[in-house]
């Protein structure tokens, strides 16, 4: 298991995609395509219907920051909730592709990230039928780990996705619980959005989301391949 808390800190504005050893990847920054309610229990805990097709929304590249650095939360806008997720990095252009083997080989790497959410603001926007981007796409709203090369990793192994806060288990699920599995999910996404190298897909969060507070210590895990320690500034 990788212990990644020793990665060197760097300014948030200098975010680049990195391998888990801290070395930069030769990948451009792109968009973040996020998937809502991809775990049935998470949909139910927020009182939402379980979707019949992927619920997609976007975060800009400016939302990206390093999960290995202290998290800086928006102030004065209500509670910020954690949503731990497996993150997929695209390595080859996909547009209208349905072949699952082609999609598998187009994945460059896997990581773990947090879809940070201004929950009260999101609820107000939902009540009005408005888009969620104000509650999801803010600067620093997509902390992501260093990445592991996709070669040799099988997401069909039912990888654990989990988050501990101050030593207490908050979220725990497995990729096998996703309503829309990874390759099938990407097949649907690239019918809507062309996916380019460097784009990230946040694949959804298991149940147990909740608020973060200053000083909280977090441990995010993806199976036995990634373990990231961080804290809230």
Residue 1: pLDDT above 70? Answer: no
pTM of the model: 0.91
> What is the full DSSP assignment across 72-132?
---SSS--EEE-EEEEEEE-S-BSS---HHHHHHHEEEEEEEE--EEHHHHHHHHHTT--S
> Please, which pLDDT band fits residue 5 given cuts at 50, 70 and 90?
very low
Q: Which residue has the higher pLDDT, 158 or 18?
A: 18
Residue 104: pLDDT above 90? Answer: yes
pLDDT value, residue 159: 93
Domains and their CATH numbers in the chain: 17-231 (3.90.850.10)
pLDDT value, residue 10: 40
pLDDT, one tens digit per residue, over 124-157 is 998 999 998 999 999 999 999 999 999 988 877 7
Average pLDDT of the segment spanning 17-41: 95
């Amino acid at each position: 298991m990788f212990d990644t808390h020793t990665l060197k800190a760097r300014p948030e504005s200098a975010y680049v995609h990195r391998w888990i050893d801290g070395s930069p990847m030769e990948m451009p920054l792109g968009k973040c395509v996020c998937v809502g309610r991809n775990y049935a229990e998470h949909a139910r805990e927020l009182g939402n219907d379980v979707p019949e097709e992927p619920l997609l929304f976007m975060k800009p590249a400016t939302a990206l920051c390093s999960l290995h650095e202290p998290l800086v939360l928006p102030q004065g806008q209500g509670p910020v909730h954690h949503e731990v997720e497996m993150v997929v990095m695209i390595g080859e252009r996909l547009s209208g592709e349905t072949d699952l083997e082609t999609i598998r080989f187009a994945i460059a790497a896997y990581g773990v990230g947090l879809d940070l959410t201004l929950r009260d603001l999101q609820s107000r926007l939902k009540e009005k039928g408005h888009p969620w981007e104000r509650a999801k796409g803010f600067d620093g709203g997509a902390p992501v780990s260093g990445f592991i090369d996709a070669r040799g990793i099988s997401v069909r192994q039912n990888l654990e996705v989990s988050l501990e806060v101050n030593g207490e288990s908050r979220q725990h699920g497995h990729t096998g619980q996703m309503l829309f599995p990874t390759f099938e999910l990407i097949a649907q996404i690239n019918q809507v959005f062309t996916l380019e190298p460097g784009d990230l897909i946040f694949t959804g969060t298991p149940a147990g989301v909740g608020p973060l507070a200053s000083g909280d210590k977090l441990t995010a895990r993806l199976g036995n391949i990634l373990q990231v320690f961080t804290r809230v500034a």
